[in-house]
Amino acid sequence: MTATESKALTKRELQIATLIGEGATVVQVARAIACPLSTVRVHVRAIARKLPNPHGLPAARLIRRWHSAR
């Protein structure tokens, strides 16, 4: 597995990142995908680890910035 592949978002992470990027809160995401809130938070942390974050932005803000740049 290459460095690029290891940083690729899973389908679920991409789904969550898209919802957050569109402005949903983690609670709204959990309801939308019928998933426990704690699981969504785990996915958000995983997404944040995979995205470049030179300024130490909070995860949701980082994801929204990434989503708008796509």
Which domain CATH number covers 59?
1.10.10.10
In terms of residue numbers, what domain contains 7? Answer: 3-69
User: Residue 53 has what pLDDT?
Assistant: 82
Between CA 24 and CA 4 the distance in angstroms is: 27
Asked whether residue 1 carries a pLDDT value surpassing 70, the answer given is no
53, 62 contact by CB (below 8 A): yes
Structure tokens at 67: 């989503």
pLDDT in tens, 9-67: 999 999 999 999 899 999 999 999 999 999 999 999 999 888 888 778 888 888 888 88
Instruction: Quote the pTM value.
Output: 0.80
- Number of domains the chain contains: 1
Asked whether residue 5 carries a pLDDT value surpassing 50, the answer given is no
